[in-house]
A and B are shown apart, each in its own frame.
Chain A
Amino acid sequence: MDRRTKQGIMNFLQSVKLCFSFFLSLGKKSRRTKVFYVISFVPILMALAIKLAQFFYSHRDISGLAIFSNMIMVFYLQFLILILALFFGTSLCSEELEGKTLTYLTTRPVPKSAIILGKYAAYTFLTIIMTGVGLLFTFLILNLDNLLDFSLYVLFLRDLVVLWLGLICYTAFFTFIGTFLKKTILFGLLFSFGWENVIQYFPGSTQRFAIVHYLKSLLKVPTSGGFSFLLFRLEPTPPGIAVLMLLLISGIFLFLACLFFSQKEYILQD
């Protein structure tokens, strides 16, 4: 690699970093972030309610870990990370167009692809923090009786990383969608709660066309609880390949998003 190329890469990374800082400070203040922080704390309330019910009615036939796993499967994996990725990912481009603020970004000496990557990184970071905080408190509340069992923390960390991988992957996908579609929410909802929910139950290789398939392949299948039917017919991909696939999908969609955003002409409506 010659010096000029190296310098170019360094400049590009520096631009991504600058955009990341800009959108992180902006994202922290946005109303949407505050709303989603509240939503991401819903499982904490649910965990509290469950724990109180267990305490008062002495129902202890389901372990805290099993409830936690079910919450990951139902609330986090099939709802929260999809919603977070959908609203943050698609808004990456659309909020600049609708707010007519795109001009302020595209008239600065930073590559357009750095704007997309920096903003993607900032928004993904925000959603990672949201899910992380919510999940940690949920985990601690549900496992109050076993807080000294350190093997549980390993499981918690694994689940957390899987959810984060899901956020990274889904946000990359929705970022790409947002760079070329105008009405992205409807498409996103259909994808999230239609395609992803249906395809994952198809037998054979078809289920590998859903991102959630690779996420579920990385999670421990709950053996108890009322929601185990959701894993019906899951034919898991080996963990290493699942991680690779998730990273590959994220990389491809981010690359396409940068390409589209750099080449497409966005006309701000008067």
Chain B
Amino acid sequence: MTAVIETQNLSKWYGNILGLSDVSLQIERGITGILGPNGAGKSTFLKLLTGQIKPNIGRVTIKEEPIWNNYPLFQIIGFCPEQDSFYGELTGWEFLKNLLILYHLPRTEAEDKAKKAMDIVELSSDKDRVIRSYSRGMRQRLKVAQAIAHDPEILILDEPLNGLDPLGRRKIIKLIKSYEQEGRTVIVSSHVLPEIEAMTQTIILIHQGKVFAQGNIHYIRDLIESHPHIVSIKCNDPRTLAKKFIHQDFVLKVHFGETLDSLLVETNNRDRFFALVPSLVVEHQIEVKEITSPDDNLQAVFDYLVGK
């Protein structure tokens, strides 16, 4: 399969700060997830892909054409930026329609497409409200709408699920997946692994401006599974729970927290650990107030993987 998007030795600095370093990739049709903690360089990568910024070294080509100042390419590209910014004085409808007119579409066609996009993101009933009065989730859906409204062949979405409620997330995920079925190219970034996992198996892992890994999502899943996890449990009897955990071979450490009702458990098998917890709680009639994973985020995994 030929690459739709290709980058060669792509590097970007913001003054002395490294944004992206020596990224050479080929992105094919289908959904590709860009995964990395906040500040890893995901947005820089997507801005370079969409010609928002110029690389210091290297090049980006889309369908074998350079992207920088190549405005006709945007007929086939839809981009949803990360920033929550709009022309606040406009209504959602005016915003979408006016942006569609910039595609050299006749007014009636622009209106048809705007209506269709509004329907897809379920904003039709609020289309005549000024954007300033929209909720965060509505603004996020409007951003997605402006990216898909002209029916692009390539869709680039920077953190599209930010600020959406669970239902909204599911709908956008479904929409993104439908694009894959239509044979389009979708690049979607996130710092939340399950979000990416729900959309695609193909991922690019970015950390500290470098591509850390590229390929199937199972690879990163395996890496994460081998990473010891810390689980915090707040309950009325942490000592009884600790006594039970200590005998398990998948529990590496048990600490008591600063407060008398908390317990920190380090495990190298999260699945087995979480399978055990409910039975212990029921058996010993322990009242659990909260179970959290303080290091259950991508940054912790990356720190672990890079040996910090």
- Set of chain B residues within 8 Å of A208, measured between Cβ atoms: none
Q: Which listed residue, B50, B69, B77, B86, touches A101 by the CB 8 Å rule?
A: B86
A263 CB to closest chain B CB, in angstroms? 8
User: In the complex, A110→B14 CA distance in Å?
Assistant: 27
User: In the complex, A31→B81 CA distance in Å?
Assistant: 25
A97 CB to closest chain B CB, in angstroms? 10
Q: Which listed residue, A15, A103, A262, touches B79 by the CB 8 Å rule?
A: A103
Q: Nearest CB to that of B156 among chain A residues?
A: A107
CB of B83 within 8 A of CB of A100, answer yes
CB of B83 within 8 A of CB of A26, answer no
Q: Is A104 an interface residue (CB 8 A)?
A: yes
Q: Which listed residue, A19, A101, A265, touches B102 by the CB 8 Å rule?
A: A19
CB of B85 within 8 A of CB of A99, answer yes
**Known contacts A103-B79, A109-B74; is-contact A18 B102 (Cβ 8 Å):** yes
- Set of chain A residues within 8 Å of B7, measured between Cβ atoms: none
CB within 8 Å of A: which B87-128 residues: 87, 89-90, 94, 98-99, 101-104
CB of B104 within 8 A of CB of A14, answer yes
User: In the complex, A110→B75 CA distance in Å?
Assistant: 9
CB of A108 within 8 A of CB of B53, answer no
**Which of A21, A26, A104, A106 is the most central at the interface, judged by chain B CB atoms within 10 Å of its CB?**
A104
CB of A25 within 8 A of CB of B94, answer yes
Q: Which listed residue, B43, B52, B90, B102, touches A110 by the CB 8 Å rule?
A: B102
- Set of chain A residues within 8 Å of B52, measured between Cβ atoms: 103, 106-107, 268
Q: Is A270 an interface residue (CB 8 A)?
A: yes
- Set of chain B residues within 8 Å of A22, measured between Cβ atoms: 98-99, 101-102
CB of A18 within 8 A of CB of B104, answer yes
**Dominant secondary structure of chain A at its interface with chain B:** helix
Q: Is A51 an interface residue (CB 8 A)?
A: no
**Known contacts A104-B146, A265-B54; is-contact A109 B85 (Cβ 8 Å):** no
Q: A82-110 interface mask toward B, CB cutoff 8 Å, 1 = contact, 0 = none?
A: 00000000000000000111011111111
Q: Is B72 an interface residue (CB 8 A)?
A: yes
User: In the complex, A14→B101 CA distance in Å?
Assistant: 11
Q: Is B163 an interface residue (CB 8 A)?
A: no
- Set of chain B residues within 8 Å of A18, measured between Cβ atoms: 101-102, 104
Q: Is A223 an interface residue (CB 8 A)?
A: no
Q: Is A112 an interface residue (CB 8 A)?
A: yes
CB of A109 within 8 A of CB of B83, answer no
User: In the complex, A112→B54 CA distance in Å?
Assistant: 15
A72 CB to closest chain B CB, in angstroms? 32
- Set of chain B residues within 8 Å of A151, measured between Cβ atoms: none
Q: Which listed residue, A99, A112, A263, touches B71 by the CB 8 Å rule?
A: A112
Interface footprint category on A: 20 to 34
- Set of chain A residues within 8 Å of B103, measured between Cβ atoms: 108-109
Q: Which listed residue, A107, A263, A267, touches B50 by the CB 8 Å rule?
A: A107
- Set of chain B residues within 8 Å of A267, measured between Cβ atoms: 14, 53
User: In the complex, A31→B132 CA distance in Å?
Assistant: 13
B37 CB to closest chain A CB, in angstroms? 15
- Set of chain A residues within 8 Å of B50, measured between Cβ atoms: 103, 107
User: In the complex, A99→B79 CA distance in Å?
Assistant: 17
Q: Is A30 an interface residue (CB 8 A)?
A: yes
A266 CB to closest chain B CB, in angstroms? 8
- Set of chain B residues within 8 Å of A236, measured between Cβ atoms: none
Q: Nearest CB to that of B74 among chain A residues?
A: A109
Q: Which listed residue, B43, B72, B81, B86, touches A109 by the CB 8 Å rule?
A: B72
**Known contacts A99-B87, A103-B83, A268-B83; is-contact A111 B53 (Cβ 8 Å):** no
CB of A110 within 8 A of CB of B71, answer yes
Q: A250-264 interface mask toward B, CB cutoff 8 Å, 1 = contact, 0 = none?
A: 000000000000110
- Set of chain A residues within 8 Å of B81, measured between Cβ atoms: 100, 103-104
Q: Is A6 an interface residue (CB 8 A)?
A: no
- Set of chain A residues within 8 Å of B85, measured between Cβ atoms: 99-101, 103
Q: Is A60 an interface residue (CB 8 A)?
A: no
Q: Is B66 an interface residue (CB 8 A)?
A: no
CB of A262 within 8 A of CB of B69, answer yes
Q: Is B51 an interface residue (CB 8 A)?
A: yes
B41 CB to closest chain A CB, in angstroms? 13
**Known contacts A29-B89, A112-B69; is-contact A107 B104 (Cβ 8 Å):** no
User: In the complex, A267→B14 CA distance in Å?
Assistant: 9
CB of B53 within 8 A of CB of A265, answer yes
B158 CB to closest chain A CB, in angstroms? 10
- Set of chain A residues within 8 Å of B146, measured between Cβ atoms: 104
User: In the complex, A25→B216 CA distance in Å?
Assistant: 47
A186 CB to closest chain B CB, in angstroms? 24
CB of B90 within 8 A of CB of A29, answer yes
- Set of chain A residues within 8 Å of B69, measured between Cβ atoms: 112, 262-263
**Known contacts A22-B98, A99-B87, A103-B79; is-contact A111 B71 (Cβ 8 Å):** yes
User: In the complex, A171→B89 CA distance in Å?
Assistant: 23
22 contacts between A and B (CB under 8 A): A22-B99, A25-B90, A26-B87, A26-B98, A29-B89, A99-B87, A100-B81, A103-B50, A107-B50, A107-B79, A108-B99, A109-B71, A109-B73, A109-B74, A109-B104, A112-B69, A112-B71, A262-B69, A267-B14, A267-B53, A268-B83, A270-B43
